Structure 1
Amino acid sequence: MGCCGDEENDDDILNPLSPNSTTTQSVDSSDDDSTISPMNSHFSALACRDTLRLIFEKLPIPDLACASCVCRAWNSVASDQEIVAKSFKSPWKLKHVIGKPASGSFWRDNSLAKFAISHRIARGDSVASLAVKYSVQVMDIKRLNNMMSEHGIYSRERLLIPISNPEMLVEATCYVEVDPCAKREVAVLYLEDGPDHKAISSSSDSSLQNNGGSGSSSSSNSELGKKRVVESLRRSMHVDDATALYYLSIADGDPRAALSQFSQDLRWETHSALA
C-alpha cells in the first residue's frame, strides 16, 4: 500500500537502477581508481628513482628505515649512502659527515649520544676538570670512553667528550671513527685540529712494520707476553686495560712495582676524599 492509498507495484523492486544511481556508482568507482596503490597506474609514479630520491631525502632516519622495507625498488634508493647521510645530518644541521662506518647500523641512530668531541690529553688534565670544561658529567665521560678508573686518562692520547650543546654541531664537520680505547663507533667533532695526525701516525707505524723483516716473530712474542702481563694486572687491580698498561709503563715493565704504585695512588685518593 502506497503512502497515498495506491497499491505499490512490486515489479518496481526488480527494475534496473535509475540513471541517477548509475551516475553515482560511476563517480564512486572513479574515486576508487584515484587511490594510489599497486593495482592501478598511479603507483608507477612511486617507482621512479628520481621521485623516490626527492621524497626520501626529506625523511628522518626512522621513516627512511621503514621505507626501505616496502619493496626492492624502495630499498635500493633508501639504502643509498648519500640519502642516508643526508638524513643523518639533517636534525643537527651538520655540514659534512666524513668517513664510511664499519657497520651499516651506524646510520640507524642519529641521536646526540652518537656524537662526541675529541679532546687531546694535555698535562694537568683530569676527568673532573674536563667535565667542568665541557659541562658534562664525570660518569658520562667514563662511560663513553669505557673507563673504570680515572687513572686510564694518562695512557691515552685523547678522550671522547659527550656533546651537551647541540648548537656545536650546526655547520660542523664530523668524522666517523672507531675509537680503540672506547671500543665504539662515533661521529667525532674536532674543535681545535683535524684527524690528519692520525693518518700520519698510522702510516709511520705501517712503514715500521714493513721494515721489521726477520724481527717480526720475536716482536710478536714479546707483545704476546706483554698482553698476558697486562691482563694479569687488570684482574688484580680491577681496572681497564689502559690503566693497567699505564702503571706497567711507569714501573718499567715490573708488575710488582706497578701494583705497588697503584696501591699508593688508591690510598692517596681515599685520604683526599676523606679530608
Structure 2
Amino acid sequence: AATEKSFVLKAPLVKGDSLAMLAVRHATDIVTLKRLNNLTSDSSLAARHYIYVTCVGGAAAVRGSHVTFTYCPIACREFITLQPGAEEGDKPQPPAASTLSPAQVDQLTAKLALLLSRSLRVDEQTALYYLREADNDVKRAMQLH
C-alpha cells in the first residue's frame, strides 16, 4: 500500500533555482529533495527541467486525484505522480508521446555511446553494445563493463 509520502508532484525548474529555494517553495527540506531526485548538489539542477517533490496536504490532497506511474531515468526510480487539475470522475490523460524522431533517437544514442566510450576507454562499438544491453541506462552500462 502506498503511503501519503509515496505521492509526488512534478515541479518545473526556473533558471537560477537552488535547492534551498525549492525547499522553501515546496515546504520540504533539502535532504528530502536530494534523496528523492538523486541530487548531489545545486549544480545537479543545471541539467534538469523539473524535479519531483513530495505532495503536501496529506490524504486530502491525494484522495480522488489521478496519478500516473512515471519512471525518471535521471533519478533512476519510479514515482507515483499526482496529476494536478484532474477531478474525481475525469478520465486520466494518456502520457505524452515522445517528440523525438527515430533519427534523433539514433543520433542521441550515438552521442551517448561516444561519451561512454571515452569514459570507459573502449571503442564506440563496445560502448554501444553495453549501452544497448543496459537499455540506454549509462549507470547500468558502466556496471556491466
CA distance in 1, matches of 2:48, 2:56: 23
Report the CA distance shift for 1:148/1:168 in structure 2 as closer, same or farther (over 3 A).
same
Contact 1:146 1:182 in 2 (8 A): yes
1:109-160 alpha-carbon deviations (Å, 9 max, x no partner): 3112321111011223222111111111110011000111221111012100
Q: Any residues of structure 2 matched to 1:1-275 within 5 Å, and which?
A: 109-166=1-58, 167-191=60-84, 199-200=96-97, 202=98, 204-205=99-100, 208-209=101-102, 211=103, 216=106, 220-229=109-118
Name the SS of the counterpart of 1:199 in structure 2. Answer: coil
CA distance in 2, matches of 1:160, 1:231: 31
**4+ runs deviating over 4 angstroms:** 192-196, 218-221, 228-232
Contact 2:68 2:81 in 1 (8 A): yes
Scaled by the length of structure 2, the TM-score of the pair is 0.64
**Counterpart residue type for residue 64 of structure 2:** E
Contact 2:11 2:51 in 1 (8 A): yes
CA distance in 1, matches of 2:73, 2:8: 14
CA distance in 2, matches of 1:112, 1:183: 21
CA distance in 2, matches of 1:116, 1:160: 6
Contact 1:118 1:191 in 2 (8 A): no
Structure with bigger gyration radius: 1
CA distance in 2, matches of 1:186, 1:231: 30
Contact 2:65 2:83 in 1 (8 A): no
More strand by share: 2
% same residue: 19
1:146-185 alpha-carbon deviations (Å, 9 max, x no partner): 1112211110121000123213213322111111112111
Q: Following TM superposition, by how much is the alpha carbon of 1:219 offset from its aligned partner in structure 2, in angstroms?
A: 6.3
Q: Which runs of 5+ in 1 are unaligned?
A: 1-108, 233-240, 242-275
Give the count of matched residue pairs. 115
Q: Which runs of 5+ in 2 are unaligned?
A: 87-91, 122-137, 139-145
1:54-76 alpha-carbon deviations (Å, 9 max, x no partner): xxxxxxxxxxxxxxxxxxxxxxx
Scaled by the length of structure 1, the TM-score of the pair is 0.36
Report the CA distance shift for 1:146/1:132 in structure 2 as closer, same or farther (over 3 A).
same
Contact 2:69 2:81 in 1 (8 A): yes
Report the CA distance shift for 1:118/1:195 in structure 2 as closer, same or farther (over 3 A).
farther
Report the CA distance shift for 1:169/1:225 in structure 2 as closer, same or farther (over 3 A).
same
